[in-house]
Structure 1
Amino acid sequence: MRTVERTAGSGMLRDVAAIGAAMIAVGASFGAVAVAAGLPAWATVAMSVLVYAGGAQFMAVGLVAAGSPLAAVAAGLLLNARHLPFGLTLGDSLGGQRWRRLVGSHLMTDEATAFALARPAGPARHRAFWLAGALLFLAWNAGTLLGVVAGGAVGDPTTLGLDAAFPAGLTALLLPTLRDRETRQVALSGAALAVLATPVLPAGLPVLLALTGLVVPLVRRHRQGRAAVGPDPESGADAPATVGSLAGSGPADGLAREAGPGQAVRTEETSC
């Protein structure tokens, strides 16, 4: 058992390190872009430490450089509103103490959430979240510091294809959960809605709209519950015949009487 746990732990550490390497490169790009946009070096580093929002930081720097600080705050809140369902899902995995929940909510990212949800609930999910959250936080801030120091030497991550590393990593982590039919329906419904809404809605809203995919299993369960209950008596549909209903039926339907222990129920037909 301990050998299996060590093997799983080393595999998770390898996966976190792979995504962390890409995060260092993207963080370095952010540091270089922020300094080039006129943001002080200390403010750039402080943003990565205190905000730690990835793509929202790129958007905030662009909006601040354009002279719209309030729009930067609003855009950051909108993009990171997806962390609300993340917190509801991982609340038990952060720990019972208030300071653990506070720190854990700060370390909560798409990647850390995916690593945690790929493990069963309990101690395994708890360890996965904290390991991924801590290492990715360090990787992002190390990359930011590298970008601030290197300046223009760091290129755009999109030219290196690093912007595709995070979606690819998340997809690989979430693939095992798609074996469940209900989870697959929710994921596909949400993804379809997000893709259709992307050309129409502002950035951040399509991701939130994808949460409506959670309605699919609720609708199906509601329909199954109504089918199990049977037809609505007010609709005028015929209810299935029972011994009790036969007991109160007319002569043409027969006369049923309740049987005692060990006796069979007999129905005596009467003629008109």
Structure 2
Amino acid sequence: MAEQTATPPATAPATLGTADTKSDAAVVRDALGVGSAVGLSGFAFGVTSAGAGLSLLQTCALSLLVFTGASQFALVGALAAGGNPFTAAAGAFFLGTRNAFYGLRLSQLLALRRFARPFAAQWVIDETTAVALAQPDRRTARIGFTITGLTLYLLWNVTTLLGALGAEAIGDTDAWGLDAAGPAVFLALLAPMLKSTTERATAALAVLLGLGLLPVLPAGVPVLAAALAAPAVLFFRGFRGRSKTSKTSQRQEDAR
């Protein structure tokens, strides 16, 4: 009887531990997959940037120093439409502020040493955050963040250079339809991330605001106005929640 009662406690922790662990090879494989898939999109940015009139040096500097795809596409897109450089930069800045919130979460998860934080901050983007947060513990989160960031940074900059060189070689990118490459890639990256009803509603309202205000506002300003979609949807969601709560309370009072 003693042997039979001792067996279950011995096997239970082993089963639980295997469910909560993930091999380093699996983390590296996932990180390389994400970094490679998104890093190749830098080619589209290089083409779009060159088509917008930026020089090869300016295009490469954006990828090396800014390194946040959506903000880069927003900047060159506004410039290509004839927008004011300050307005275009403002739109790119507001899109990039989300990385600051990612950094707050990752600083607790990764707990890097102080000397490494400035270098890691350059890699705080959507993809590295997603891979890091998907890991079961701190060690694998660090591996996922590092491999994704390194792979994506190298590929993004190499393909940016190739895209800019290719755009200069073929001349007019509008004639080839390559001016649509940037928005197409951005939408392809964004679509899988819209999982909840709130996210889809925010994206749809942002599109309506951006397209609706495009004919009446200067280039670059509709991007800023589209940012109002998020607080508008959240306000509406909170209003509906309060309305449902009040109705429920009223029904309970009536029942009494």
- TM-score, normalised by the number of residues in structure 2: 0.62
Distance in 1, matches of 2:222 and 2:141, equals 30
Report the CA distance between 1:7 and its aligned residue. 3.2
Superposition RMSD in Å: 4.1
Partner letter of residue 81 of structure 1? F
CA deviation profile, 1:173-193 (whole Å, cap 9, x unmatched): x26xx2xxxxx1211220221
CA shift in 2, pair 1:214/1:16, >3 Å:
farther
Residue pair 2:203, 2:229 contacting (<8 A) in 1 also: yes
The one of the two structures with greater contact order (alpha-carbon pairs below 8 A, sep at least 6) is 2
Aligned partners of 1:160 and 1:31: how far apart in 2? Answer: 9
Q: Is the 8 A contact 1:93 1:122 kept in 2?
A: no
Shift of 1:111: 4.5
1:135 aligns with 2:148: no
**Equivalent residue number for residue 8 of structure 2:** none
User: Using the alignment, how far apart are the partners of 2:122 and 2:90 within structure 1?
Assistant: 14
- Residue of structure 2 aligned with 1:146, choices 158, 162, 165: 162
Query: Which structure shows the bigger proportion of residues in helix conformation?
Result: 2
Contact 2:46–2:59, Cα closer than 8 Å, also in 1: no
State how far apart, in whole Å, the 2-side matches of 1:216 and 1:101 are.
38
Unaligned segments of structure 1, at least 5 residues: 179-183, 232-236, 242-272
Q: Structure 1 residues 199 and 168 mapped into 2: Cα distance closer, same or farther (>3 Å)?
A: closer
* Aligned pairs (5 A) from 1:20-35: 20-23=39-42, 25-30=43-48, 32-33=50-51
Alignment-derived partner of residue 267 in structure 1: none
Question: Which residue does the alignment assign to 2:3?
Answer: none
- Give the Cα separation in 2 of the matches to 1:111 and 1:159: 25
1:45 aligns with 2:60: yes
Cα shift at 1:20: 1.4
- What is the match of residue 199 of structure 1? 211
Correspondence for 1:91 among 86, 104, 107 = 104
Q: Which residue identity is paired with 1:186? A: T
**Residue in structure 2 matched with residue 58 of structure 1 by the alignment:** 76
1:88 Cα deviation from its structure 2 partner: 1.9
Runs of at least 5 residues in structure 2 that lack an aligned partner in the other structure: 1-17, 214-220
Letter matched to residue 73 of structure 2: G
Aligned residues: 218
Against the structure 1 CA distance between its residues 48 and 188, is the aligned structure 2 distance closer, same or farther, given a 3 Å change threshold?
Answer: closer
Aligned: 1:18 with 2:31: no
1:6 aligned to which of 19, 25, 45: 25
Identical-residue share of aligned pairs (%): 22
**Structure 1 segments of 4+ aligned residues over 6 angstroms from their partners:** 237-241
* Residues 202, 229 of structure 2: 8 Å contact kept: yes
Describe the shift of the 1:238–1:22 C-alpha distance in structure 2 as closer, same or farther (beyond 3 A). closer
Q: Which amino acid aligns with 2:209?
A: A
TM-score normalised by the chain length of structure 1: 0.59
Q: 1:27 to 1:11 in 2, by over 3 A?
A: same
